């Protein structure tokens, strides 16, 4: 149906209509061979079929009408056509029942569509919420990264050192291996700033940071 939706819908309506025609024809085929009690049972069966159609087909009213009308319209016409009092009353009862069933189907259709629309909106909101949560997590990660890195060089700052050093020291003591702390100083850095200006000093700091990133495995 995803590639041939119109054709599938047409075949569905056609088969539903044929089903209704078969049940309507069955009424006229079996009616002459049934007594009054059996005729009442047959009428109840048709009523149950119509009620079942409300539950199964009310979401798409054309399908419900294609199913129910071929069952009851011929019966109603036949009863009114006879012009007998008893048959006229039966025709009125069938007509009233058909109207009530169609009203029920319309109400059920509206409720089902409202439910489906609410479910679709709920699914959309859930998807949007997931997207917003991912963006929020990304923003939190970015903020966290900014709080532990130096904005100029991109290297971890003193805050990160204070956070991780204690854990690394405990891990080394627990696993009984040595831990080394390397202190790096840039000689004559003040001379660079005083002679070439602070922008040059910043460029040199970024160069040193890039060298450290390339040489350090972790």
Q: DSSP string covering 31-50, please?
A: GGG--HHHHHHHHHHHHHHH
Q: Is the CB of residue 145 less than 8 Å from the CB of residue 136?
A: no
For residue 96, the SS3 value is: helix
Q: Is the CB of residue 145 less than 8 Å from the CB of residue 157?
A: no
pLDDT given at position 85: 84
pLDDT 10s digits, 164-185: 898 899 999 999 999 888 888 8
Alpha helices per DSSP H over the chain: 5-30, 36-57, 61-82, 85-148, 158-175, 189-196, 198-215
d(CA 187, CA 200): 15
Residue with tokens 């419900």, as numbered in its chain: 64
How large a percentage of the chain has pLDDT more than 70? 99
43 by Cβ neighbours in 10 Å (0-12 / 13-18 / 19+) ranks as middle
d(CA 122, CA 189): 60
pLDDT given at position 1: 66
Residue 149 φ then ψ, to 5°:
-125, 155
List of the chain residues with pLDDT < 50: none
pLDDT 10s digits, 134-174: 888 888 877 877 788 888 888 889 988 988 898 899 999 99
């Amino acid at each position: 149906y995803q590639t041939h939706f119109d054709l599938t819908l047409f075949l569905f309506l056609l088969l539903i209509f044929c089903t209704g025609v078969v049940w309507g024809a069955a009424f006229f085929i079996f009616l002459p061979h049934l007594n009054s009690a059996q005729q009442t049972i047959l009428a109840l069966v048709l009523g149950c079929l119509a009620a079942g159609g409300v539950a199964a087909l009310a979401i798409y009213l054309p399908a419900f009408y294609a199913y129910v009308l071929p069952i009851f319209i011929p019966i109603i016409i036949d009863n009114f056509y006879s012009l007998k009092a008893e048959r006229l009353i039966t025709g009125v009862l069938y007509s009233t029942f058909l109207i009530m069933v169609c009203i029920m189907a319309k109400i059920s259709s509206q409720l089902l569509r409202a439910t489906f629309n609410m479910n679709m909106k709920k699914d959309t909101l859930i998807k949007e919420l997931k997207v917003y949560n991912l963006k929020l997590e990304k923003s939190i990660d970015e903020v966290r990264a900014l709080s532990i890195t130096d904005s100029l060089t991109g290297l971890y700052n003193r805050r990160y050192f204070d956070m991780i050093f204690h854990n690394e020291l405990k891990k080394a003591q627990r696993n009984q291996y040595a831990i080394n702390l390397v202190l790096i100083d840039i000689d004559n850095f003040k001379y660079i700033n005083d002679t070439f200006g602070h922008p040059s000093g910043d460029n040199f700091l970024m160069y040193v940071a890039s060298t450290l990133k390339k040489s350090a495995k972790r």
